[in-house]
């Protein structure tokens, strides 16, 4: 019996020591998250010092991370990589890159709510999805011209971001890139950008923006809920998508748009002080339903030649609006008079030259 008990005790000791050795050699994510250094790329390392400076050192691409901790994931998040080791770490105040970092990975600095400063080196060519998502204390970012792509929601919900530039070789401003950046008052969009994607500046603090002549598409809700006061649509824009400027409470005037073919559903809805709307396009084919819904100050819209508009499109576009007059230059719009009748709560819409 004594021999048996000794053997059991010996096995338990061996098992205990083996367990300790295993976790020493192969630390879990929790242990890694509590450490102050590690790997963040095949040839990249990271260290976090006591002052809150996170240093990324080495060369090559950063790892791509997930945005949701393992214990909070549902079926839709299955297969998503783990968050970064410093994810949600409020102690991170500054990020410094040393060496030749070439890309900033998905959600690399997401939820670093204490981060106030970051300098992106000229070796970086790509800022990937959600890289600075919800860095609510980040105030400014200088992005070098070496960067050619900025991923979806890269700076979403950076509440205090007020200064940021878009590099000259960017062709597309991706979905939600600057969504809810409420202190971002203005931004220079460079020539060469052809697409402003869905919700790219939605609910941002933008008060003014000069759209580049290279632009051809304004996406779904691209500026929805922003503080923008006026907009001139460049001649190369062919599509203003649904909700593109909806709920822009400070928007007073819209002009330009010589090449616009489509204005989407509720594109300018609930713009409470919009008073002037003038689109000069001779190729306008469609104005979506409720395009000017609840625009109580908009009484007149000006369009150039609208003979390509359908009966249904003409009628539905004015539903719920205060528009009672359409000014149409060089147009045979009079044949559409019947389509406008009762378009606006039974009110007859006048057509003038």
Tens of pLDDT, residue by residue over 272-288, are: 999 999 998 888 888 99
The confidence band for 171, taking pLDDT boundaries of 50, 70 and 90, is: very high
Return phi, psi of residue 169, to 5°. Answer: -100, 10
Residue range 250-266: mean pLDDT, rounded: 96
For residue 31, what pLDDT is reported? 34
For residue 78, what pLDDT is reported? 72
Q: Is the confidence at residue 6, as pLDDT, over 50?
A: no
Residue range 245-251: mean pLDDT, rounded: 98
* Percentage of the chain lying above the pLDDT 90 cut: 66
Yes or no: say if 284 and 260 are a contact pair by the CB < 8 Å rule.
yes
Question: What's the pLDDT tens digit per position in 133-151?
Answer: 999 999 999 999 999 999 9
Question: What's the pLDDT tens digit per position in 63-87?
Answer: 999 988 766 777 676 778 999 999 9
For residue 291, what pLDDT is reported? 94
Name the residue with higher pLDDT: 51 or 329. 51
Q: State the Cα–Cα distance between residues 284 and 261, nearest whole angstrom.
A: 4
The confidence band for 317, taking pLDDT boundaries of 50, 70 and 90, is: confident
Residue range 94-121: mean pLDDT, rounded: 95
Question: What's the pLDDT tens digit per position in 12-36?
Answer: 444 544 544 444 443 333 333 457 9
For residue 280, what pLDDT is reported? 87
For residue 18, what pLDDT is reported? 52
Question: What's the pLDDT tens digit per position in 213-236?
Answer: 999 999 999 999 999 999 999 999
Task: Give the sign of the dihedral formed by CA 223, CA 224, CA 226, CA 228.
Answer: positive
For residue 304, what pLDDT is reported? 72
Question: What's the pLDDT tens digit per position in 43-58?
Answer: 999 999 999 999 999 9
For residue 79, what pLDDT is reported? 78
Residue range 260-274: mean pLDDT, rounded: 96
Q: What is the mean pLDDT of the chain?
A: 85
Distances (CA, A) of 44 to 60, 120, 140: 7, 15, 25
Q: State the Cα–Cα distance between residues 353 and 337, nearest whole angstrom.
A: 13
């Amino acid at each position: 019996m004594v021999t048996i008990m000794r053997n059991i005790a010996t096995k338990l000791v061996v098992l205990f020591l083996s367990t300790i050795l295993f976790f020493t050699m192969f630390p879990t994510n929790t242990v890694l998250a509590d450490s102050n250094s590690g790997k963040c790329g095949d040839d990249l390392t990271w260290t976090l010092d006591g002052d809150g400076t996170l240093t990324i050192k080495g060369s090559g691409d950063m790892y791509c991370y997930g945005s949701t901790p393992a214990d909070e994931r549902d079926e839709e998040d299955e297969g998503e990589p783990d968050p970064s080791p410093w994810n949600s770490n409020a102690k991170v105040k500054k990020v410094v890159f040393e060496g030749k970092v070439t890309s900033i990975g998905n959600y690399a600095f997401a939820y670093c709510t204490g981060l106030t400063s970051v300098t992106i080196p000229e070796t970086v060519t790509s800022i990937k999805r959600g890289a600075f998502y919800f860095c609510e204390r980040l105030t400014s970012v200088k992005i070098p011209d070496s960067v050619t792509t900025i991923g979806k929601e890269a700076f979403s919900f950076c509440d205090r971001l007020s200064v940021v530039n878009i590099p000259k070789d960017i062709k597309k401003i991706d979905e939600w890139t600057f969504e809810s950046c409420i202190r971002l008052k203005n931004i220079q969009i460079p020539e060469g950008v052809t697409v402003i994607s869905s919700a790219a500046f939605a609910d941002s603090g933008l008060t003014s923006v000069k759209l580049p002549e290279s632009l051809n598409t304004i996406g779904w809700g691209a500026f929805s809920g922003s503080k923008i006061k006026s907009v001139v649509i460049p001649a190369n824009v062919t599509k203003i998508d649904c909700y593109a400027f909806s709920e822009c409470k400070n928007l007073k005037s819209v002009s330009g748009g010589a090449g616009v073919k489509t204005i989407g559903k509720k594109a300018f809805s609930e713009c409470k002080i919009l008073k002037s709307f003038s689109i000069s396009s001779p190729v306008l084919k469609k104005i979506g339903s409720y395009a000017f819904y609840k625009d109580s100050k908009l009484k007149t819209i000006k369009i150039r030649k609208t003979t390509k508009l359908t009966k249904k499109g003409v009628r539905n576009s004015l539903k719920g609006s205060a528009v009672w007059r359409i000014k149409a230059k060089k147009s045979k719009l009079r044949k559409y008079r019947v389509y406008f009748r009762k378009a606006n709560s039974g009110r007859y819409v006048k057509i003038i030259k």
